[in-house]
Amino acid sequence: MRNEPHAAAVTEPGRPGSSYSDGPAWHAFGVSRAAYHVVPRRTLQSMPVEWQARFVALMQEARQALPDEAFPEYQVIRLKDGKYANDPNCRYRRTPPFPCRPPDEAHAVCNAPLAGAFVNTFTQFDQARR
């Protein structure tokens, strides 16, 4: 029998010290129970070119390392207050980039950078269909 406690701790969900359920991505969602993080194309294209290049490189690296089923197709529907809402970001070709915040504008420290732009549960979608 091989002794691989580190391998188990890295890959098993729910185990303390697991990079899956105790790593940076897990903590970046904060206390939300979101299963997805959605970033509009317009948001990505509004970032400085260096950030765009880093994002694309990381996604390329992830696609090489993870199986195809880690990247399924999805359709995104914007909800606001539990109802379908107009999505101005889907018209990225006709919409200008988001402006950067002025350097002197204070912004609260964000301890959960992936919280907020997410699809949370099927409940939200079911409510929107009513």
Backbone angles phi, psi at 27, to 5 degrees: -75, -25
Asked if pLDDT for residue 82 goes beyond 70, the answer is yes
122 to 25, 85, 109, 119, 127: CA distances (angstroms): 22, 17, 30, 8, 9
Q: Which two tokens stand for residue 24?
A: 């940076």
* Three-state secondary structure call for residue 74: coil
pTM above 0.85, yes or no: no
Q: How many CA atoms lie within 13 A of 101 on its CB side?
A: 6
Q: What is the pLDDT of residue 31?
A: 74
Decide which of 8 and 48 is more confident.
48
8 Å CB contact between 56 and 100: no
